[in-house]
């Protein structure tokens, strides 16, 4: 279970989409959601560059887990922050359709979220193009591109009903619908699953369930040994959590430094993490 703590303020005070920041109990890291095409959470990943963006705090308490409808947030034109799921966004757009026309870019963002028909989006594309581009040829090219993108997305949404929004399972949910962390630990500990694209996602779910348990950290070290077959993005997310977990244990920090030097050399040691001098020295 991950709790909402704030938002990355991409529009910097203006109306527009916000990125929810979440935290897991006992883990001093910001997490963000990753969605499938139905805006269901398929994984929660550490967001290591959160400090590089403007943020605002969350006022209301919200939680989310893998397999649930994701948390969607945006700043409304009146500066209030909207927080809800996809069904809530549908309701908001329906109730505020006329007032949204005053901000074409914000209107376009929300209409994309609710998969509006092209005939409804086309006049919005025209208004946005006039704001964003001075050249008529640039406007035409951008509108043509947006129409093509919409047609591609429409093929994904064409069989989606309101019932499917809340009941369609995500791929990762097939592994994490069992809430017993011991079952998930057993799956993670099977070396045949180390090559699975979902290994790191399941591991982060277990971290949320067992925030103070050392076993996921020891499993992660075994998994990191296979780092040559793991995408860098997933590797760094797991490594960051492991190092943060051992931060207060100087002996474990030294062991991790030796471990990374043995299996990864300088490449792994260059991951940008505030670290004790002993760890940096061991890696150099």
Decide if pLDDT at 94 tops 50. yes
Three-state DSSP at 16 gives strand
What pLDDT, in 10s, does the model give residues 268-279?
A: 544 444 443 333
Distance of alpha carbon 11 from alpha carbon 109, whole angstroms: 12
Mean per-residue pLDDT, 95-107: 91
Higher pLDDT, 230 or 281: 230
Decide if pLDDT at 202 tops 70. yes
- pLDDT for res 259: 64
Task: Choose among 19, 66, 59: nearest CA to 208.
Answer: 66
pLDDT band at 237 (very low <50, low <70, confident <90, very high): confident
- pLDDT for res 172: 47
pLDDT band at 213 (very low <50, low <70, confident <90, very high): confident
Task: Choose among 265, 248, 252, 191: nearest CA to 223.
Answer: 191
For 125, left (φ over 0), alpha (ψ -120 to 50), or beta?
Answer: alpha
- CA dihedral of 74, 49, 23, 61, whole degrees rounded to 10: -20
What pLDDT, in 10s, does the model give residues 161-179?
A: 444 444 444 344 454 455 5
What pLDDT, in 10s, does the model give residues 17-74?
A: 999 999 988 777 889 998 887 888 888 888 877 788 899 999 889 999 888 899 999 9
pTM: 0.59
Distance of alpha carbon 72 from alpha carbon 86, whole angstroms: 7
Mean per-residue pLDDT, 238-261: 72
- Least confident span in 142-146, 222-226, 250-254, 263-267: 263-267
- Least confident span in 86-100, 140-154, 254-268: 254-268
- pLDDT for res 81: 95
Distance of alpha carbon 103 from alpha carbon 124, whole angstroms: 10
Percentage, residues of the chain above pLDDT 90: 28
């Amino acid at each position: 279970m991950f709790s909402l703590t704030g938002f990355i303020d991409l529009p910097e005070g203006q109306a527009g989409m916000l990125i929810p920041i979440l935290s897991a109990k006992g883990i001093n890291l910001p997490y963000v959601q990753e969605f499938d095409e139905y805006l269901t959470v398929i994984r929660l990943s550490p967001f290591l560059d959160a400090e590089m963006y403007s943020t605002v705090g969350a006022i209301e308490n919200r939680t989310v887990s893998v397999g649930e409808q994701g948390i969607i947030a945006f700043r409304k034109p009146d500066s209030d922050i909207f927080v809800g799921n996809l069904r809530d966004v549908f309701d908001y757009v329906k109730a505020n359709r006329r007032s949204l026309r005053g901000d074409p870019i914000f209107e376009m963002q929300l209409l994309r979220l609710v998969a509006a028909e092209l005939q409804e989006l086309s006049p919005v594309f025209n208004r946005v193009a006039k704001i964003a581009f001075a050249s008529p040829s640039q406007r035409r090219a951008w509108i043509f591109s947006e129409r093509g993108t919409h047609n591609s997305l429409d093929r994904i949404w064409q069989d989606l009903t309101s019932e499917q929004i809340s009941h369609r399972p995500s791929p990762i949910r097939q592994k994490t619908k069992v809430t017993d962390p011991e079952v998930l630990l057993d799956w993670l500990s099977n070396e045949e699953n180390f090559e699975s694209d979902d290994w790191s996602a399941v591991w982060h779910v277990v971290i949320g369930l067992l925030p103070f348990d050392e076993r996921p950290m020891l499993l992660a070290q075994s998994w990191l040994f296979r780092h040559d077959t793991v995408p860098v993005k997933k590797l760094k997310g797991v490594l960051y959590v492991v190092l943060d977990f051992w931060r207060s244990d100087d002996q474990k920090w030294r062991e991790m430094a030796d471990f990374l030097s043995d299996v990864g050399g300088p490449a792994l040691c260059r991951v940008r993490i505030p670290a004790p001098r002993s760890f940096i020295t061991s890696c150099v």
